[in-house]
Amino acid sequence: MSNKQLLLIDDDTELTELLSQYLAPQGYELDIAHDGEAGIAQATSGKHYDLILLDVMLPKLDGFEVLKKLRVTHLTPILMLTAKGDDLDKILGLEMGADDYLAKPFNHRELSARIKALVRRMSLLPATSVQQNLKLDDVELSPASQQVFCNGNLLELTGTEYSILHLLMLNHGNLVSKEEISEKVLGRKLAPFDRSIDMHVSNLRKKLAEFNSSEKIKTHRGAGYLYLVEA
């Protein structure tokens, strides 16, 4: 699995630099915002963050304000950092929706351990499959399970066959060149005399034909393949 994405919102450039270097080798990628507004902008930019590290003392918008605004729309775990060791601050932050609270100056290893604990806990969430099924006429393809159904029958496709069908169905009504198929599905440039794609398409047609009368994949000689949809 890929690295964990963190967002650090803190105006202390020395600290952000330090943490960035400290956390990188542990498998974290750190984005940095130096004030509250920039922090919110980044957090709501659409990029997914596994965890947000939020300083309390911030220019423009303080940490509590940022926390309050973010919590309206985002459930990303938030670990707050503060210069003050004030208990009331901690309590307030946690009550307002922060997941953890660490007072500066902190032991780097403790921060790292707390980040790890939070990310670990969150990773228990089942991988949300936001991908929805792709259905054209009587063929339905499910990216989540990598299964394809034709008139309700499960097709036993290989990985490559599935990928080619997926690509063609995504581009239904449009011509897809062999070059494109080769690069996107097989991950290599199409070489002269390479017949692999032809073979996969042939097998795919054979399997589709078991449960389907009409020919879905049309050949455009010298150009590529086309997935047909009924008018």
Partner DNA sequence: CCTCTATTTACAAAAGCTTTACACTCTCTT
Partner DNA sequence: AAGAGAGTGTAAAGCTTTTGTAAATAGAGG
Range 170-189, binding its own copies (CB under 8 A)? 170-171, 173-176, 179-180, 183-184, 189
Among 17, 47, 68, 85, binds DNA (CB under 7 A): 68
DSSP at 83? S
Distance, in Å, from the CA atom of 96 to the CA atom of 65, rounded to the nearest integer, reads 10
Could you say whether residue 145 binds its own copies (CB under 8 A)? yes
Half-sphere CA count of 59, side-chain side, radius 13 A: 7
Quote the tokens at residue 22.
């400290």
Where do the H-state alpha helices sit in 123-158? none
> Which residue lies nearer to its own copies by CB, 38 or 93?
93
201 makes contact, choosing from DNA, its own copies, none, with CB < 5 to 8 Å by partner type, with DNA
Could you say whether residue 133 binds its own copies (CB under 8 A)? no
Range 211-230, binding its own copies (CB under 8 A)? 220-223, 226
Asked if residues 52 and 7 have their Cβ atoms less than 8 Å apart, the reply is yes
Range 165-194, binding DNA (CB under 7 A)? 178, 186, 188, 191, 193-194
Nearest Cα to Cα of residue 198 among 178, 184, 174? 178
Distance, in Å, from the CA atom of 22 to the CA atom of 219, rounded to the nearest integer, reads 55
Binding mask 80-109 for its own copies (x = CB under 8 A): -------x--xx--xx-xxxx------x-x
Asked if residues 102 and 79 have their Cβ atoms less than 8 Å apart, the reply is yes
Asked if residues 139 and 208 have their Cβ atoms less than 8 Å apart, the reply is yes
| Listed ranges 17-25, 30-38, 44-52, 168-176: which one lies at the site for its own copies (CB under 8 A) | 168-176
> Which residue lies nearer to its own copies by CB, 34 or 162?
162
194 makes contact, choosing from its own copies, DNA, none, with CB < 5 to 8 Å by partner type, with DNA
- CA 184 centroid distance within chain: 19
Residues that bind DNA (CB under 7 A): 68, 156, 158-161, 178, 186, 188, 191, 193-196, 198-202, 205-206, 219-223
